[in-house]
Amino acid sequence: MGRTQPSFTTAVDAELEKLIRLSKRVGNPCFQNVILEASKRVRYFQNSMYDEVTDPQEVVLLAIISVLAEGLYNGRLRC
């Protein structure tokens, strides 16, 4: 980039870290699993959203939604 801008990947990781910390504190294993699964696929959402104007929260939320949607679709969304 022409100007120094904060790394988008670092910002996404910071959002994820926050959610992982939160899920541990909440102590809900189902929620924790969803967040962990979302963290595995978050980069692939970054890949597809690179050309768009987006913020890190949006990317993380979409990854979480995709985990929930997949669970719902497969009927595995039970804890």
Tokens of 51: 């050309």
Residues in 5-34 at the binding interface with another protein, rule: CB under 8 A: 5, 13, 20
Residue 60 near residue 22 (C-beta atoms within 8 A): no
- In the complex, minimum distance from the CB of residue 50 to another protein, in angstroms, rounded to a whole number: 5
Please identify, using beta-carbon distances, which residue of 37 and 61 lies nearer to another protein.
37
CA distance 39 to 6: 20
The residues that touch another protein, with contacts defined as CB under 8 A, are 1-3, 5, 13, 20, 36, 39-40, 43-44, 46-47, 50-51, 53
